[in-house]
């Protein structure tokens, strides 16, 4: 499998340097499992001040990211097969684990467009295949959402995580939250590890974990629980 290429268009590309030293994600970059490239629209501005923003037509507060330098930066990015272009915006679809799995498995290149200032010129939307949001809130730029997507997709690429099975049972992998985890000591400050986990009965352990997943999802995320029940009508939990 070829390297997973990530291209980020951002006015503050230096913030992405930290990803290259971030645990298994950093090792994935070092090992060539993924590669990260940043592109600053300011480098493509044509005026002497390298201006990338301007006042909005019609008036209003704040400045708007201009289309020319963003288009120029985007068009300078090498195009790889199976590419997907994502625009970071609070108006986008809320990010889900299924999106990360799809992008990590179906594409060999992701281009992440990060907005800034009050917003971006509406014509920049035409570059994107999808618009993505972390949730119903607003940040100062698209860098944190982009870093989240980079982390979430690279960790799913083959070779990044040492034990692939750990990706199967984690939260949201099958529509449910993950079961509790324990390690030594068996008793800590009068809190005990459940006896079933120390029993050696792998069948009982598997059943306990499945029950815990359902119970936790029902209690903590009733929205996910309702969706899971709709998709598994024969399982009452």
Distances (CA, A) of 114 to 6, 21, 31, 119, 166: 13, 21, 26, 10, 31
| Alpha carbon of residue 215 to chain centroid | 26
Q: Which residue in the block uniquely carries the two structure tokens 């790889």?
A: 80
The overall average pLDDT reported for the chain is 92
196 lies in some domain: yes
Rounded to an integer, the average pLDDT of 169-186 is 80
Per the structure, how many domains does the chain have? Answer: 2
162 lies in some domain: no
Q: 139 in helix, strand or coil?
A: coil
Which carries the bigger pLDDT value, residue 70 or residue 234?
70
pLDDT, tens only, 136-147:
999 999 999 999
**Hey, how many other C-beta atoms are within 10 angstroms of the C-beta on 47?**
9
* Residues 134, 181 within the same domain: no
Residues 6+ positions from 204 with CB-CB distance below 8 Å: 196
Which alpha helices (H) appear in 170-221, and where do they start and end? 202-220
* Residues 39, 144 within the same domain: yes
State the residue range of the domain holding 199.
169-231
* pLDDT band per the 50, 70, 90 thresholds, residue 26: very high
* Residue positions counted in the chain: 237
164 lies in some domain: no
DSSP, residue by residue, 60-105: -SS-EE-HHHHHHHHHTSPPPSSEEEEEEEEEEEEP-HHHHHHHHH
Kindly state the DSSP code that residue 200 receives in the 8-state scheme.
-
* pLDDT band per the 50, 70, 90 thresholds, residue 167: low
**Hey, how many other C-beta atoms are within 10 angstroms of the C-beta on 97?**
15
236 lies in some domain: no
Distance in angstroms (rounded) separating the CA atoms of residues 107 and 103? 6
Nearest to 208 by CA among 232, 182, 231: 182
Distance in angstroms (rounded) separating the CA atoms of residues 193 and 4? 40
Predicted local confidence at residue 116, as pLDDT: 85
**Which region among 47-56, 113-122, 170-179 has the lowest average model confidence (pLDDT)?**
170-179
Predicted local confidence at residue 226, as pLDDT: 94
* Residues 50, 86 within the same domain: yes
Predicted local confidence at residue 171, as pLDDT: 53
Domain boundary among 105, 130, 154: 154
* pLDDT band per the 50, 70, 90 thresholds, residue 235: confident
104 lies in some domain: yes
* Residues 128, 181 within the same domain: no
CATH number at residue 67: 3.40.1280.10
Note whether 167 and 161 are within 8 A (CB).
yes
* Residues 85, 201 within the same domain: no
pTM for this one?
A: 0.87
Q: Is 78 exposed, middle or buried (0-12, 13-18, 19+ CB in 10 A)?
A: exposed
* Residues 47, 132 within the same domain: yes
* Residues 118, 199 within the same domain: no
Distance in angstroms (rounded) separating the CA atoms of residues 208 and 185? 20
* Residues 133, 195 within the same domain: no
Predicted local confidence at residue 1, as pLDDT: 62
Domain boundary among 154, 185, 218: 154
**Which region among 3-7, 75-79, 171-175 has the lowest average model confidence (pLDDT)?**
171-175
94 lies in some domain: yes
Distance in angstroms (rounded) separating the CA atoms of residues 179 and 217? 9
Residue 163: is its pLDDT beyond 90? no
């Amino acid at each position: 499998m070829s390297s997973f290429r990530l291209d980020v268009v951002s006015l503050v590309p230096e913030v992405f340097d930290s990803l290259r030293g971030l645990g298994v994600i950093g090792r994935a970059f070092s090992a060539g499992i993924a590669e990260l490239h940043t592109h600053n629209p300011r480098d493509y501005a044509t005026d002497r001040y390298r201006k990338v923003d301007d006042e909005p037509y019609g008036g209003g507060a704040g400045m708007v990211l201009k289309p020319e330098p963003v288009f120029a930066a985007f068009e300078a990015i090498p195009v790889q097969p199976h590419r997907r272009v994502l625009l970071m915006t609070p108006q986008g679809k809320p990010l889900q684990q299924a999106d990360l799995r799809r992008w990590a498995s179906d594409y060999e290149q992701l281009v992440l467009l990060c907005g800034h200032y009050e917003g971006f010129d509406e014509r920049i939307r035409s570059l994107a295949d999808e618009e993505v949001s972390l949730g119903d809130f607003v940040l100062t730029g698209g860098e944190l959402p982009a870093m989240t997507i980079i982390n979430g997709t690279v960790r799913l690429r083959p070779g990044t995580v040492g034990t692939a099975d750990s990706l199967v049972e984690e939260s949201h992998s099958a529509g449910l939250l993950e079961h509790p985890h324990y390690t030594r000591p068996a008793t800590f400050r009068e809190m005990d590890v459940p006896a079933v986990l120390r029993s050696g009965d792998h069948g009982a352990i598997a059943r306990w974990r499945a029950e815990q997943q359902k119970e936790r999802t029902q209690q903590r995320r009733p929205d996910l629980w309702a969706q899971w029940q709709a998709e598994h009508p024969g399982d009452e939990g």
